[in-house]
Amino acid sequence: MKSFILVLVVAFAVAAIVLPITRPTVAASPRATPETLEQLEAEFMKAAAQKGSQGYMSYYADDAVEVPNGAPLIQGKSEIAKGMGFLDDKNNSLLWMPLGADISSSGDLGYTYGTFEFHSKDNDGKPVVQHGKYTSIWKRQKDGSWKVVLDMGNASPEPK
């Protein structure tokens, strides 16, 4: 009987050692939080400001979907990139600010939403600003990086 108890004690000791090793690997990497996504958005905006459309598109997943206001839905990064050349014009700049974010308990899918300003110049060279809102959905990719899988924009009233 005593040796059976010894077997059980050692068994649970081994189980205690084996258990943490077999837990899902997601716990091994730093856990993404809503703040992770807000930080990503700051990097995303910086990339667009510094490298134009190329910097902007580097944050898009290959299978991303763009849901533009007043235009049809666009499927796929390469198709979306065709309409982003305006970010390479030095008269234009796109600025955005997340107002909120959330992430799944598995830390592999999340979203941000907020407001944006698009600064450009009219035909007379006068600066104009368009105001809008956005939602971006972020998904952790197989290589561990986070990419935008859906981006949608719409219009806000002009500030008074």
Q: Which 100-119 positions form the footprint of a copy of itself (CB under 8 A)?
A: 100, 102-106, 108-111, 113, 115
Q: How many residues does the chain have?
A: 160
| Nearest-angstrom CA–CA distance, 64 and 82 | 13
Does 8 participate in binding a copy of itself (rule CB under 8 A)? Answer: yes
Look at the block and give the residue holding tokens 């190329």: 54
Q: Which 28-57 positions form the footprint of a copy of itself (CB under 8 A)?
A: none
Phi, psi of 46 (to 5 degrees): -65, -40
Per CB under 8 A, the list member of 29, 43, 62, 73 interacting with a copy of itself is: 73
Which stretch, 21-29, 37-45, 86-94, 118-126, contacts a copy of itself (CB under 8 A)?
21-29
- At 159, which amino acid appears? P
**Cβ–Cβ under 8 Å, residues 120 and 91:** yes
Per CB under 8 A, the list member of 32, 45, 57, 137 interacting with a copy of itself is: 137
